[in-house]
Amino acid sequence: MATFQITPVLVERNELKFSGLYMYHTTSGPNRNQESLVSKNGLGSLVANNWEVRDGPDPNAKVIARAQGMHMNTGVNQIWQNFFCLAFEDGRFKGSTFQVMGLDVVRGEWAIVGGNGRILHGNGCHLQEVPQENE
Helix (H, G, I), strand (E, B) or coil at 24: strand
One-letter amino acid at 31 equals N
* pTM score, whole prediction: 0.80
Query: What are the structural domain ranges in the chain?
Result: 3-129
| pLDDT tens for each residue of 5-50 | 655 544 456 777 788 888 988 899 999 999 999 987 778 899 999 9
For residues 65 and 22, give the distance between their C-alpha atoms in angstroms, rounded to a whole number.
Answer: 10
